[in-house]
Structure 1
Amino acid sequence: MRAFAELLDRLVLTPSRNRKLQLMVDYFRATPDPDRGLALAALIGDLDFPSVKPAILRAMVSERMDPVLFGYSYNFVGDLAETISLVWPTGNAGAGDGVPLAEVARELSQVSRSDAPAVVAALLDQSTASERFAIIKLATGELRVGVSARLAKQALADLGGIEINEIEELWHGLHAPYGDLFAWLEGRADKPVPTAQALFRPVMLSNPMTEADYPRLDPKDYCAEWKWDGIRVQIVASGDARRLYSRTGDDNSGSFPDLMNAVHFNGVVDGELLVGSPTGRTATFSDLQQRLNRKSVSPKVQAQYPVFVRCYDILQAGDEDLRPLAFVERRKHLEAFVAALDPDRFDVSRFVPFTSWEELDEKRKRPPHPIIEGIMAKRWDTPYLPGRPKGPWFKWKRDPYTVDAVLMYAQRGSGRRASYYSDYTFGVWTGPEDAPELVPVGKAYFGFTDQELKQIDKFVRDNTVERFGPVRSVRADTKTGLVFEVAFEGLNRSTRHRSGVAMRFPRISRLRWDKPSAEADRLETLQSLLDA
């Protein structure tokens, strides 16, 4: 457990992607089975201990110290695991070599909810502060150490000196603690042969189109398609198995039973998941969010938010792997393949005709549908290559919208930002001109430098008017307030927000220290964008 705790500590404090990779590679190389496999499962969120909940942990620590003092401590630290690990009575902490990770995982997986407090307390009593932090993070599944599933897979690829796509093609046929995977990566065994059907194929990704790119590219070598504002998916059907994967390989089949019931083919199709119908209206991303990450979907929700897939590419038809073919050949296979599918659930992405990049740029700026967020440009002669190769595919998105908004609330960050107020909710003015009020329109936590973060943090602390746990309400009126220039990709109507609007991908593009808060934008500005 000590080595895993040290790994988490270093990952939390390391912003560098390459350094995080090296830390994981070193840990996997030095740690024996099954601990390293369990650590991998924890990092990618593949461990679940349902008997241990945050409420149990809060109750446990409240029995050992003044609840008011704990509340103040939690408010200052901003992270439950870190707070408990620091205030927990030491006792015999650190005696011996610590509890092995495998033993901790075994106890947490077998404990009942009634016995969980005693078992967890015993583990914490014999651990150091860093080990307690790791145990609580492990138990709650909220690691927040800046490691995505793909980054962990890249570390495995680096460990074995192979391409990450080899890991991704195997992934859904593997299970913790991944002994056969590590044996292969270390050259002690053959490559695992997954027995599962309908495995994920690593997707081909695009690069942003810049002004320096298109003048040197021949438009005759490329086709163009509209880039719709949905989510990239891969539908895999093999034998009796049917799967709907995200671009990162997450299985989302359970959230879309209506779509999966229409999968009557054997193959692999790449496309965009959208709400609506191919022949009717295409709804907003906000509507699609009503379907995402649901464990169960009622018939009413399915009827209200029907989904379909706009198909971009085909990787496999029957038993034939089409990825080595040029895009122009795959497109012919795709059109013939989709023609035999349910027309209410599948269609083929249309080409955007153009003869020059300037002509395509004009179409990009004025798309024919509000749910289009730009253009995809693809070389006709390119095979389907996993990863993000430079040159074959480009995404050319619409220019972002901007609005001036006023900071309303600030929340503590996580990881290396845990001591700063780095997550910001901002609003615009509404109501009569002589008595306006702010309504929240979005939340962002990036787009500023570390130096600017310190400046905003100081402003938050100096202008706090109310506290709600780790959240502070900031003074914001027509005379006092911090104005952000916020960039965002799109705007949707929303019944969940008091303003009636929801921003798509908002980010802080500029701090407007020079601008009085009274001159920030009004809600009518956003509503006019929606109307347009």
Structure 2
Amino acid sequence: MQAFAQLLDSLIYTRSRNAKLALIGAYLKAAPDPDRGWALAALTGDLSLRAVQPGIIRALVSQRVDPVLFGLSYDYVGDLAETAALIWPGAQIAAPPPRLSEVVDELQRITRTQAPAVMTRLLDRLDADGRFALLKLATGGLRVGVSARLAKTAFAQAFALDPDDVEEVWHGVSPPYTALFAWGEGRGERPSSDDAPVFRPFMLAHPLDDRDVDLSDYAAEWKWDGIRVQLVHVGGETRLYSRAGDDITQSFPEVAESYRTPGVLDGELLVRGDVQGGAAASFNALQQRLGRKTVSQAMLRDFRAFVRLYDILFDGPEDLRPQPWTQRRARLETFMSRLDSARFDISPLVDAPDFAALETLRLGAREAAIEGLMLKRRNSPYVSGRRVGLWYKWKRDPLVADCVMMYAQRGHGKRSSYYSDYTFGCWTEEGELLPVGKAYSGFTDEELMMLDRFVRSHTVARFGPVREVEKTLVLEVAFDSIHASKRHKSGLAMRFPRISRIRIDKPAAEADRIVTLRGLAV
């Protein structure tokens, strides 16, 4: 456990991607099985320990420490695990610190009723660094600046494997990955995924920063405003995977049930709009279905999901990824004839002679559930990740609005000591300020310092971890789209809001009106 704690501590204070890769790789090569497997599962988000809730940690600390002192400390530090780890007095138990595998075994077995006693015993056997690692592990929020992809890449580099090859077999193995480490160390065969509906890495696009490409070498296609999905049917099983590799089959059971043809497809998950026309609805409609473990009949009726297909990776057992895009497109059109046309269609190609014509089409994309355009090199194979010169995305320009900061909350990980999550609003015609969104990106480190100082010096009320501030600071917010929403008092919800500028030059009274944003809603 101590080695894992040291790894987390080092990762938190390391910004360099290469340095993070080296730290993780060194740990994975030095740690024994199954500790390193559980560590890798924690870093990739594949370790689920549900018995320990944050409320349990607060209650345990309050039994050992003056609750007022704990509350003041938590407000200053901003991170529950860090505060509890530092303030916990310990019981000077003589037993040695537990191994990571011992901790995972205990936490996987316990119930919520047993959790307080087990956590107390484990906390008493660890120092501050170990307690921090334990609490992060138990509550499921490491937040050490490591993505699942980075952790898998670190594993691949440590054992001289191809990262794409590791990604290919990942969903066919499970923690603590003993077969994976045996393969990496040359003690076992490559884990097979041929007979399982596993995820394959998506091919991604680079932003089109300039127009120095020959359009005759590329096919143009719409970039739809849904979520990218992969459909896999192998061995009689169907799975739907998100771009991150998450299994979302249970959220869209009707799509999975409709896909029974062996193969692997790449497409955009959308929801039907108008019942008569059947066109794609806005992302806001799709959002009603995302993340649901059970889907009601009303949901199935009112938000009818379908997939607009982009590409085909496998036709039955045949791997088509090495073939050029033109051949894969022809195979996809043939494959489509075997699918239910109510659930699947093919993203149409866009015919335009030059960039000027494409620009005209792109400008009119916002009203049709379209994010922009894609340019795909006609001879490109299907390769994972972003490869220069193969695929480009040309997204529509973001919308912007001047909003007033209303509330702020501390961030997580490296930002746990800063107020970095901001809720902002716009004015009603009656002069009331109503929230329209929340953002925690788009600003530089220097601007973060400025915003944090503003929050601390202009706080007017506190609600737990949230601070209400004077309504005087205007933020220019960029967002991809805005939708009607019954869940928000303003009746609006922004998609992908980010702070593009701090308008210290603009009076708050001159910020945008709700009615203006309502005119942009789709």
Instruction: Give the alignment's TM-score, normalised by structure 2.
Output: 0.96
| Partners of 2:366 and 2:396 within 8 A in 1 | no
Alignment of 1:346-385 (within 5 A): 346-367=344-365, 369-385=367-383
Tell me whether 290-299 or 182-191 shows the greater mean CA deviation. 182-191
| Partners of 1:173 and 1:196 within 8 A in 2 | no
Alignment of 1:12-411 (within 5 A): 12-92=12-92, 98-194=97-193, 197-211=196-210, 214=211, 216-276=212-272, 280-367=278-365, 369-411=367-409
Matched AA of 1:245:
Y
Which of 443, 467, 487 pairs up with 1:472? 467
Instruction: Give the alignment's TM-score, normalised by structure 1.
Output: 0.94
Query: Is the alpha carbon distance of 1:277 and 1:315 closer, same or farther for their aligned partners in structure 2, counting shifts above 3 Å?
Result: farther
SS at match of 2:169: helix
Matched AA of 2:152:
K
- Per the TM alignment, residue 195 of structure 1 is displaced from its structure 2 partner at its CA by 6.8
- For 1:417, the equivalent position in structure 2 comes to 415
- Per the TM alignment, residue 494 of structure 1 is displaced from its structure 2 partner at its CA by 0.9
Query: Is the alpha carbon distance of 1:85 and 1:368 closer, same or farther for their aligned partners in structure 2, counting shifts above 3 Å?
Result: closer
Using the aligned pairs only, state the percent identity.
55
| Alignment partners' CA distance in 2, 1:489 and 1:15 | 29
| Partners of 2:261 and 2:338 within 8 A in 1 | no
| Alignment partners' CA distance in 2, 1:251 and 1:368 | 29
Matched AA of 1:14:
T
| Alignment partners' CA distance in 2, 1:135 and 1:182 | 24
Gaps of 5+ in 2: none
| Partners of 1:13 and 1:415 within 8 A in 2 | no
Query: How large is the Cα RMSD of the aligned pairs?
Result: 1.7
Query: Is the alpha carbon distance of 1:146 and 1:170 closer, same or farther for their aligned partners in structure 2, counting shifts above 3 Å?
Result: same
SS at match of 1:244: strand
Deviations 1:505-525 (A, max 9, x none): 111111111111111111122
Deviations 1:344-401 (A, max 9, x none): 1000001111111221122111227431110011111111112211111100001111
| Partners of 1:173 and 1:195 within 8 A in 2 | no
| Partners of 2:403 and 2:474 within 8 A in 1 | yes
| Partners of 2:325 and 2:378 within 8 A in 1 | yes
Alignment of 1:423-462 (within 5 A): 423-432=421-430, 436-462=431-457
- Per the TM alignment, residue 502 of structure 1 is displaced from its structure 2 partner at its CA by 1.0
| Alignment partners' CA distance in 1, 2:245 and 2:48 | 19
| Alignment partners' CA distance in 2, 1:368 and 1:130 | 50
- For 1:491, the equivalent position in structure 2 comes to 482
Matched AA of 1:237:
H
| Alignment partners' CA distance in 2, 1:69 and 1:176 | 39
Aligned residues: 520
Query: Is the alpha carbon distance of 1:430 and 1:509 closer, same or farther for their aligned partners in structure 2, counting shifts above 3 Å?
Result: same
| Alignment partners' CA distance in 2, 1:341 and 1:100 | 51
| Alignment partners' CA distance in 2, 1:425 and 1:485 | 13
| Alignment partners' CA distance in 2, 1:318 and 1:192 | 20
Matched AA of 2:142:
L
Tell me whether 103-112 or 12-21 shows the greater mean CA deviation. 12-21
Matched AA of 2:72:
Y
- Per the TM alignment, residue 96 of structure 1 is displaced from its structure 2 partner at its CA by 6.9
Deviations 1:69-93 (A, max 9, x none): 3222222222221111111113327
| Partners of 2:405 and 2:423 within 8 A in 1 | yes
- Per the TM alignment, residue 178 of structure 1 is displaced from its structure 2 partner at its CA by 0.8
Matched AA of 1:76:
Y
Query: Is the alpha carbon distance of 1:319 and 1:193 closer, same or farther for their aligned partners in structure 2, counting shifts above 3 Å?
Result: closer
Matched AA of 1:402:
V
| Alignment partners' CA distance in 2, 1:24 and 1:187 | 19
- Per the TM alignment, residue 111 of structure 1 is displaced from its structure 2 partner at its CA by 2.3
Deviations 1:441-469 (A, max 9, x none): 11111111111111111111110001112
| Alignment partners' CA distance in 2, 1:117 and 1:86 | 18
| Partners of 1:277 and 1:307 within 8 A in 2 | no
| Alignment partners' CA distance in 2, 1:389 and 1:295 | 35
Matched AA of 1:2:
Q
| Alignment partners' CA distance in 1, 2:195 and 2:469 | 53
| Alignment partners' CA distance in 2, 1:525 and 1:441 | 12
SS at match of 2:32: coil
- Per the TM alignment, residue 13 of structure 1 is displaced from its structure 2 partner at its CA by 2.3
| Alignment partners' CA distance in 1, 2:380 and 2:17 | 30
| Alignment partners' CA distance in 1, 2:192 and 2:327 | 30
| Partners of 2:238 and 2:260 within 8 A in 1 | no
- For 1:482, the equivalent position in structure 2 comes to 473
Matched AA of 1:363:
L
| Alignment partners' CA distance in 2, 1:425 and 1:143 | 24
- Per the TM alignment, residue 14 of structure 1 is displaced from its structure 2 partner at its CA by 2.3
Matched AA of 1:471:
V
- Per the TM alignment, residue 18 of structure 1 is displaced from its structure 2 partner at its CA by 2.4
SS at match of 2:386: coil
| Partners of 1:51 and 1:116 within 8 A in 2 | yes
- Per the TM alignment, residue 196 of structure 1 is displaced from its structure 2 partner at its CA by 5.2
| Alignment partners' CA distance in 1, 2:195 and 2:379 | 33
SS at match of 1:314: strand
- Per the TM alignment, residue 98 of structure 1 is displaced from its structure 2 partner at its CA by 2.0
Which of 484, 487, 509 pairs up with 2:500? 509
Deviations 1:297-348 (A, max 9, x none): 1111111111000000111112222112111111111111112211110000
Deviations 1:77-128 (A, max 9, x none): 22221111111113327x6752111111112122233322111101101110
| Partners of 1:405 and 1:486 within 8 A in 2 | yes
- Per the TM alignment, residue 11 of structure 1 is displaced from its structure 2 partner at its CA by 1.7
| Alignment partners' CA distance in 2, 1:277 and 1:242 | 26
| Alignment partners' CA distance in 2, 1:17 and 1:424 | 27
Tell me whether 331-340 or 109-118 shows the greater mean CA deviation. 109-118
| Partners of 2:280 and 2:368 within 8 A in 1 | no
| Partners of 2:230 and 2:266 within 8 A in 1 | yes
| Alignment partners' CA distance in 2, 1:85 and 1:286 | 40
SS at match of 2:393: strand
- Per the TM alignment, residue 237 of structure 1 is displaced from its structure 2 partner at its CA by 0.4
